[in-house]
Amino acid sequence: MIMVEHLTKCYGDFMAVNNLSFEIEEGHVYGFLGPNGAGKSTTMNIMTGCLSATEGTVRIDGYDIFEEPQMAKKLMGYLPEQPPLYLNETPEEYLKFVGAAKGLKGMELARQVEKVMDQTKIGSIRNKMICTLSKGYKQRVGIAQALLGNPKVIILDEPTAGLDPIQMIEIRDLIRRLGESRTVILSSHILSEVQAICEKVLIIAGGRLVAFDAPENLEKLMLSSNGIDFKVEALLEEAEEIMEKLAICEEYTLDEVETGLLKIHVKADMDDVRSVCRRVFFAFAEKQKAIVEMVSKKANLEEVFLELTDGAVSEEREVEKE
């Protein structure tokens, strides 16, 4: 559906997007996740033909966004980070204007305006001035304009930024519903949000793609931080002997909390945390050593994100001068 290849964008000496390549398949909800300044908006602006690229190509259903912008743009609806709303118009007037600009006319224009107002549930405020609407409703109007023309792909830049928790939930539900019948790409710097809405996550940091996977697989990437923490009543050498015999893994740490009480951390694959727990439990029980606390630790996306973006964010982004 969308092919982005070797996309690079420089602002003067600063490289905002650095050799980004990825493919978006039809019919899924994708999330661009990254800290502020990662290059998400720049990438979206280029993909939607609002900004030129320094290098690289973007193809929408085969149409090159730079060579055949009209054909490519028809396939996409875009809600930029700053929604392009006319504050002194009503949603209905505004949507008619945008629809006409997208080439819709007469009955078809009227039908589509009704449809998108229905989809985004803004019928009740259709005749109010946009400037008087809450941020949540403004955002809905912004999404409604992106839906006009029935594009195959909807691109939403930080659609929930600045919303209160209830508005946030409503907009997320709306996005989920939209994702049932089309391709949706949204950006966010909130991990839990992309985890909740997106089927695939692209983590962008320092202008580069640092990961592209399903949220649950990204968690698996961090197997190293999965493990078990437990406290056992044993002396250091006793515990060491038991752990060596167990030979469950090479990596474990052993700290003495107080005399006769040890804290042990064992690394374990997410899939076998339970079996490791069981073996540890019986090994210590057999030697009459009581485990008084046992917690299995599963890495979350937050940790994955920190791990993956660590190097990339602090890395030099100056364009090399020849």
CA distances from 292 to 130, 263, 298 (A): 61, 10, 20
For residue 145, give every residue at least 6 positions away whose Cβ sits within 8 Å of its Cβ, in sequence order, or none.
Answer: 77, 79, 83, 84, 94, 95, 98, 116
In this structure, what DSSP letter does residue 247 have?
-
Asked whether the beta carbons of 140 and 177 are under 8 A apart, the reply is: no
The interface with Mg ion within residues 131-150 (CB under 5 A) comprises none
Residues touching Mg ion, count (CB under 5 A)? 3
Residue 11 touches which of Mg ion, ligand ADP, none (Cβ within 5-8 Å per kind): ligand ADP
Considering the complex, state which of residue 40 and residue 59 has its C-beta at the smaller distance from ligand ADP: 40
Tokens of 58: 């973007």
Rounded Cα distance between 226 and 93, Å, is: 54
Residue 34 touches which of ligand ADP, Mg ion, none (Cβ within 5-8 Å per kind): ligand ADP
Residue 14 touches which of ligand ADP, Mg ion, none (Cβ within 5-8 Å per kind): ligand ADP
Select the span of 41-49, 166-174, 223-231, 265-273 touching Mg ion (CB under 5 A).
41-49
- Please name the residue ranges forming H helices in 39-148: 40-47, 69-74, 91-101, 106-119, 135-147
- Smallest gap from Cβ 117 to ligand ADP, in A, equals 29
Considering the complex, state which of residue 271 and residue 315 has its C-beta at the smaller distance from ligand ADP: 315
Q: Which residues bind ligand ADP (CB under 6 A)?
A: 11, 14, 16, 34, 36-42
Considering the complex, state which of residue 41 and residue 145 has its C-beta at the smaller distance from Mg ion: 41
Rounded Cα distance between 168 and 162, Å, is: 9
Q: Contacting Mg ion (CB under 5 A), which of 18, 41, 48, 112?
A: 41
Helices vs. strands in the chain: H and E counts, helices first: 11, 14
Residue 282 touches which of Mg ion, ligand ADP, none (Cβ within 5-8 Å per kind): none
Q: Interface residues with Mg ion (CB under 5 A)? A: 40-41, 81
